[in-house]
Chain A
Amino acid sequence: MANIERQTLAVLVDNEAGVLSRVTRLFSGKGYNIESLAVGTTDDPQVSRITIEIKANEDQTRLIASQLRKLICVHSVKVLVPDHAIRRELVLIKVMANTAESRNEVIQIANIFRSSIIDVSVASLTLAVIGDESKAEAIQNLLKEFGILELVRTGMVALERGQFTIDEQTKVKGEYDYGKNVL
């Protein structure tokens, strides 16, 4: 059995009520914890794109992708290979900074990570960091000593590198369509 790894699935779905629960219940029904989930509309307002990350091996991921493709509300599914995909998430971190000294230090750290300061108050600074999980973890570790008041992530979004898209017409895609519906 192949190794359990973090797997990224990109899913195009109808932008309708109930679709997200149809998609996520497939994961919970098989006992997978969703590590990360991000949803939003695409350039076509009737279509949403979901990026889901789970911990699973390759066979398990292939099986769940094929079951996702069976859902009528799902247009297409692609398992993104880490080497051929770009993955990013936005993390907002509210840090305690109630002295001039600590504020300066936090701002310096923010600059090194090319993150922006999006809110300042007398006692705190809020940073926005974009990156993959290693970048978020690194800045988190550095800011820990100042006191992290709150932290929130958007969830990972991902796209394949190069000109390839999720909509490619392949024999396998045709096979899935056949199983879904022969009208």
Chain B
Amino acid sequence: MQLTGAKILMECLVEQGVDTIFGYPGGTILNVYDELYNYENNGMMKHILTAHEQGACHAADGYARSTGKVGVCFATSGPGCTNLVTGIATAYMDSAPIVCITCNVGTALLGKDSFQEVDITGVTMPITKCNYLVRDVKDLADTVREAFAIARSGRPGPVLIDIPKNVTAEKAEYESLARSVHGTAGRLGALMSRASEDFKAPEPDHNDIEKLVEMIAESKKPMIICGGGVVRSRAHQELNELVNRIDAPAAVTLMGAGGLQGRDRHVTGMIGMHGSQASNMAVDACDLLIAIGCRFSDRVALKPSTFARNAKIVQIDIDRSEINKNVQTDHHIIGDAKRVLELLLERVRPAKHEDWMKYVFSFKTETEYDEASDHLTPQQVLTAIAKILPQDTIVATDVGQHQMWAIQHFHFDYPGQLLTSGGFGTMGFGLGAAIGAQISHPDKCVLHVTGDGCFRMNCHELATEQYYNLPIINVVFNNGVLGMVRQWQTLIYDKHYAATNLDRSPDFVKLAEAYGLSGARVTNVEELEKALKEALSCGHGYVIDCVIDMDEKVRPMVGGGSHITDFMLNS
């Protein structure tokens, strides 16, 4: 069947099971949107128009993280696609599967500094798993199939397809192909045929598994780190079973939150720079450290040379290039976290480590705060949220103090419950991600935790929240300063508060009203609880502006590059 490039693209998205696209149109992508018009009218596709392309990219990312499916976003050439760049880098650092489709000027205009032209494949090369410039409409279907396969497989990540405008109008033969046979046809087939045996039928090495089983049996003080890989591979049940069977304390990284039942008695909380005392002390004392889907970032292994210095370190990862990258390991297993854990569970024998558990849990797993404070504290805000909102609420955060407080305080129970920019630390990520999560989970409560600095960056997406009637609850930790940077200035830079004062407009309640939402400014727990109840029942978006003190700190804290138990601030 002869179809235009635009129609082939839409058909390929249908092949992939895509039903939602986040995006923003423009000159070069008009042919695609013209085709999308028909698919929307048929009810086959839903398009969410955001206020800014960055918001579309974060929304696709939030959609992907909360569902485990591939998120899709559209943008036009030039500024449209460069606006995606921060979003793509965010997805890349946290291994979130998204496919960005951008259109470029026609092939005859490429390379001539045409209006709204940019070499977006060149720009995004370091922040995508792979990207494509499709010059021939005949290659389009194969390219889209390959892009989705690459985005979702192995270690997931963003992929970008750039299509010149004339290619979206030209016609080529298109034949629908079931997703199950994509790996045997076209470019993907060629990619598969050149790979080694292990590539085609991937299975973790059984001898490697056997060795780890022995190491676990010999260990007296085992410890587990749950990283983002557990969340991506949805291996939470398997990991919970392993932790309980070998009776080992388990810490979670920022990206690993939700990979373990947050309330399990083995969970020591977060590890690293703002990790709990129990996590950091345990990793220093353990004799066997099993890190699953964790890349030992500089926020976890602050000082790689002394990290887990008394332990044999075992790294389980799907990405071979992560082994020995940041921390030297003693053993590794390459494979998908879920499959490796399944194989482990077939063989690992139950164990009890009472003394070791008692030692680890003699340290605090949570930070203690002054509950009697006369003004509203971050902890009071989080306690009230936990009390009033449903337990399975999806939490999207921005970046900074509020992010750390929220993650330390909440107990996440399933993968995709927490959406946060861990690797890239993107301020302004939260609202877009919350929109993606609410679109894919219309029946769940979605909470967006943010700070005044972060919220100001992308608050224009409140328009999207309003237009699509998304009942996202935005809780702003408003301390009038750039809190985390100020904390560093207080502790490390002699209280030189350079450019961290944010005591300025807008009034967030009025802003919410201007966008057609409701809002409330709260200064104590009663007002807050009342606002939360109203937000939950009002059926539309809500902004709660929580006034907190500018000198609240995230505790505990270990300085960058310091040994993991050298706490600069205690819990």
Contact = CB atoms under 8 A, between A and B. Distances in A.
Contact of B198 (A29, A63, A174): A174
Most buried by B among A29, A71, A72, A179: A179
A66 to B, nearest CB: 4
Contacts of B194: 75
Contacts of A176: 320-321
A141 interface: no
Contacts of B154: 178-182
Contact of B199 (A18, A72, A174): A174
Interface in A25-50: 25, 29
Contacts of B3: none
Interface in A125-168: none
Contact of B195 (A59, A171, A177): A177
A87 B320 CA distance: 29
Contacts, number: 88
B546 to A, nearest CB: 41
Interface in B170-213: 182-183, 188, 191-192, 194-199, 202, 205
Contacts of B198: 171, 174-175, 177-178
A37 to B, nearest CB: 18
B523 interface: no
B155 interface: yes
B51 interface: no
A174 B197 contact: yes
A21 B123 CA distance: 11
A111 interface: no
A172 B208 CA distance: 13
Contacts of A22: 125
Contacts of B336: 182
A135 B199 CA distance: 43
Given A22-B125, A174-B196, A181 B153 contact: yes
A21 B125 contact: yes
Contacts of B192: 183
A51 to B, nearest CB: 20
Nearest to A171: B205
B335 interface: yes
B191 A181 contact: yes
A160 to B, nearest CB: 18
Given A183-B183, A183-B188, A63 B321 contact: yes
A181 B199 contact: yes
B318 A182 contact: yes
B191 A178 contact: no
B205 A72 contact: no
A25 B125 contact: yes
B334 A179 contact: yes
A169 interface: yes
Contact of B150 (A59, A69, A169, A181): A181
A81 B545 CA distance: 62
Q: Chain B at the A interface: mostly helix, strand, loop or mixed?
A: mixed
Given A72-B129, A178-B318, A183 B197 contact: no
A45 to B, nearest CB: 14
Most buried by A among B129, B192, B321, B324: B321
Contact of B202 (A63, A70, A178): A178
A45 B372 CA distance: 75
A176 B335 CA distance: 10
Interface in A1-34: 17-18, 21-22, 25, 29
A67 B320 CA distance: 9
B561 interface: no
Contacts of A180: 154, 199
Contacts of A18: 121, 133
Contacts of B321: 63, 66-67, 69-70, 176, 179
Contacts of A171: 198, 205
Contacts of A175: 198, 320, 334
A178 B336 CA distance: 9
A88 interface: no
Nearest to A177: B199
Given A21-B125, A72-B130, A169 B320 contact: no
B197 A169 contact: yes
Interface string B304-338: 00000000000001111111110000000011100
Interface in B223-263: none
Contacts of A178: 154, 198-199, 202, 318, 320, 334-335
A55 interface: no
Given A177-B199, A178-B198, A183 B319 contact: no
B163 interface: no
B339 to A, nearest CB: 10
A59 B182 CA distance: 37
Interface string A66-109: 11011111010000000000000000000000000000000000
Interface string B146-162: 00011001110000000
Contacts of B199: 174, 177-178, 180-182
Given A69-B320, A174-B196, A175-B334, A183 B126 contact: no
Contacts of B130: 71-73
A174 B200 CA distance: 10
B454 to A, nearest CB: 28
30 contacts: A62-B324, A63-B321, A63-B325, A67-B321, A69-B320, A70-B321, A72-B130, A72-B150, A73-B130, A169-B196, A171-B205, A175-B320, A175-B334, A176-B321, A177-B196, A177-B199, A178-B199, A178-B318, A178-B335, A179-B154, A179-B317, A179-B318, A180-B199, A181-B154, A181-B195, A182-B202, A182-B318, A182-B336, A183-B153, A183-B191
Interface of B: 121-122, 125-126, 129-130, 133, 149-150, 153-155, 182-183, 188, 191-192, 194-199, 202, 205, 317-325, 334-336
Given A63-B325, A67-B321, A183-B183, 15 more contacts: A18-B121, A29-B126, A62-B324, A63-B324, A66-B321, A71-B130, A172-B320, A173-B196, A174-B196, A174-B198, A178-B202, A178-B318, A180-B154, A182-B153, A183-B149
The 7 closest A-B pairs by CB, nearest first: A174-B198, A177-B199, A66-B321, A179-B319, A175-B334, A179-B320, A175-B320
